[in-house]
Structure 1
Amino acid sequence: MDEYVEQHSSPSSELTRWIREETATRCPAWADIGSSKSQGGFLAMLVSLQRPASILEIGTFAGHGAVSMAERLPQGGRLVTVDNSAADPVALDIAQRAFAHSTVAGRISLEIADAGEYLKSTTESYDLIFVDADKPNYLNYLDVICDRQLMKPSGVMIFDNTLWGGRVLEPDLPESEDFESEPDPEAWVRLMQDDWARHVRAFNNEVLTRPGFEVVLAPIADGMTLIRVQRD
């Protein structure tokens, strides 16, 4: 299905195609956590329609999502992307090289920082906020964004991976375990995915209860949840 979707969508830019190819070649173990072609196309289309002056991205990785959005920013628009580069420093190098490209140079500001700390310290507000980071902190990020009014009244938030490979549908996810101390790599991945599935499902359930939230979970790639806050 993913292949069919990509074949029947407009081609992506040369720069985003280069990012995907570099990511697959240089950091194959993590390549699947980057934004896909279809996600990049969706983000680009949304920016073209919304015409935001300011975008905040939480979770840079190799820069595919950031570039997809930055290429469609209106004149004078800017994008801030935040990452602690913990997943793979090679991915950060790919992102920095892409951000230096002439088509997006000057539009993107890369902040190497903890996402939670950045959200607590920034004094800006944004038209579009895209979160693709550690799933256990999704609700924490959402709370800080709302409490500090980091999203402008007409803004939109997008949270990625909200289908989590379909595991949100599982009625009985395993109970939480301390996967961080697990020595076996395969077991660590399995326990981590179990833990993150629980957090994603909790996030999906919680956002529907928030007063004034308009929520759409779009089945794009691994799920993208769009949130608009209706203010009085």
Structure 2
Amino acid sequence: MHFLSDSLQQYLTDHTENEPEYLAALSRETHMKVLQPRMITGHYQGRVLSMLSKIIMPQRILEIGTYTGYSALCLAEGLPHTGELHTIDINEELVDIQRKYFDRSGYSNQIKQHTGNALEIIPQLQMDFDLVFIDAEKKEYKRYLEVVLPKTRPGSIILSDNVLWSGKVVEPLDPSDKATKALLDYNKMLKEDPRIETVMLPVRDGLTLSRVRGS
């Protein structure tokens, strides 16, 4: 579902900072060679992620769901030279294309790839994160949040992607649609959880920004 007309969306993109050349190349290669290329973050949302990261200035970033690496590279733009980004994806077939463009960027040594189940990998990471981006299996969003929160501190930001799910969140629910039901439950959880404060943004397919409250 397009929430804005094509002409308005193009206007937004035209008046947004250009994407780096290597990200444009990554987008082209993803669309040519990888299944479900619509999953890529893309120019406009990528610049939103980049700007948020630059405002937050995180020392450590955690990304759940790497795909071909576009969003990781956008988020890495806000890292200081001593910072690092840990990104997790279950699909080992995408590791080479991720690394190809990580190496082409200026963030190669700062991006740490993890392949496997995020719910198993995250508890093993012995560090806290200032910025988290959740963009993987929708039916696991609530579990991702629970495993991530102990790895944050007051003021950490958690971004959740695809929270509008092509508009299905406001349509009659098909009882067999487990992904939409999971997102409806997750969105409700974000609004009601006293550990965080949340605002939902109509960016692309919906992007929720949650801030971890102080103790």
State the alpha-carbon separation in 2 of the partners of residues 72 and 204 from structure 1.
27
Matches within 5 A, 1:214-225: 214-225=197-208
Question: 2:125 matched to which residue of 1?
Answer: 122
Q: Which residue of 1 aligns with 2:60?
A: 54
Secondary structure at the counterpart of residue 106 of structure 1: helix
Tell me the residue number matched to 1:230.
Answer: 213
Task: Verify: 1:168 aligned to 2:169, yes or no.
Answer: yes
Superposed CA offset, 1:106-140 (max 9, x none): 01010112111012222211000001000000001
In the alignment, what sits opposite 1:205?
188
Q: Distance in 2 between matches of 1:116 and 1:2?
A: 35
Percent of aligned positions that are identical: 32
Aligned to 2:113: 110
Which residue identity does 1:168 align to in structure 2? V
Within-5 A mapping of 1:84-163: 84-85=90-91, 89=93, 91-146=94-149, 149-163=150-164
For the pair 1:79 / 2:79, whether they are aligned, the reply is no
1:149-179 Cα deviation digits (max 9, x unpaired): 2012221000100000011001x21113xxx
AA at the equivalent of 2:173:
L
Look up the SS of the partner of 1:196 in the other structure: helix
Give me the CA root mean square deviation. Answer: 1.4
Aligned partners of 1:71, 1:158: CA distance in 2, in Å? 16
Asked if structure 1 preserves the Cα contact closer than 8 Å seen for 2:155 and 2:214, the reply is no
Question: How many equivalent residue pairs?
Answer: 208
**2:29 counterpart of 1:22:** yes
Q: Tell me the amino acid that sits aligned with residue 126 of structure 1.
A: F
Unaligned runs of 5+ in 2: 1-7
Q: Runs (4+) of structure 1 moved beyond 6 Å?
A: none
Amino acid at match of 2:188: N
**Structure 1 stretches lacking a partner, 5+ long:** 177-193
SS, match of residue 141 in structure 1: helix
Q: Which whole-Å CA distance do the structure 1 matches of 2:197 and 2:105 have between them? A: 37
Report if aligned partners of 1:212, 1:229 keep a CA contact under 8 Å in 2.
Answer: yes
TM-score by length of 1: 0.85
1:160-199 residue CA offsets vs partner (Å, 9 max, x unmatched): 00000011001x21113xxxxxxxxxxxxxxxxx321111
Cα drift, residue 69 of structure 1: 1.4
TM-score normalised by the chain length of structure 2: 0.92
Q: 1:181 matched to which residue of 2? A: none
Deviations 1:55-111 (A, max 9, x none): 00000000000011113311211101011116xx2x432211011125111010101
Q: Within 2, Cα distance between the matches of 1:204 and 1:229?
A: 16
The amino acid across from 1:58 in the alignment is I
Q: Secondary structure at the match of 2:104?
A: coil
